[in-house]
Amino acid sequence: MKPLLKPHAVISEDNAMPPTITLSALCSEAADHVARARLSLSDETSDADRALRHLDDAILCLRRLLAHGRAAAARDERARPRPA
């Protein structure tokens, strides 16, 4: 399984490789953001802005998953032998 770049990875000045994340960790991160958004709305302060930020982060995770899936499907399509 090919690792993906972390959404808010910061590349240091020495041009080191950014941290990577697996697909299962990316799914877990998206779920965590959704859970945090829900908690932000259910606590006493009911911080809608914080909830929206968490939902935006969850959407970014899911978009990265979609992009990875589409790239894998395109690679599989190119690798498939064509009938004569």
Q: Quick one: pLDDT at residue 76?
A: 87
Confidence of residue 7 (pLDDT cuts 50, 70, 90): very low
The pLDDT tens digits for 10-69 are 433 444 544 566 888 889 999 999 999 999 998 777 889 999 999 999 999 999 989 888
- Please tell me whether the overall predicted TM-score, pTM, comes out greater than 0.75 for this model: no
How far is 52 from 46, CA to CA, in rounded Å?
A: 11
CB 26 within 8 A of CB 4: yes
Inter-axis angle of helices 23-42 and 48-79, nearest 10: 160
Q: What string of DSSP letters covers 36-61?
A: HHHHHHHSSS--HHHHHHHHHHHHHH
Residue of 33 and 7 predicted with greater confidence: 33
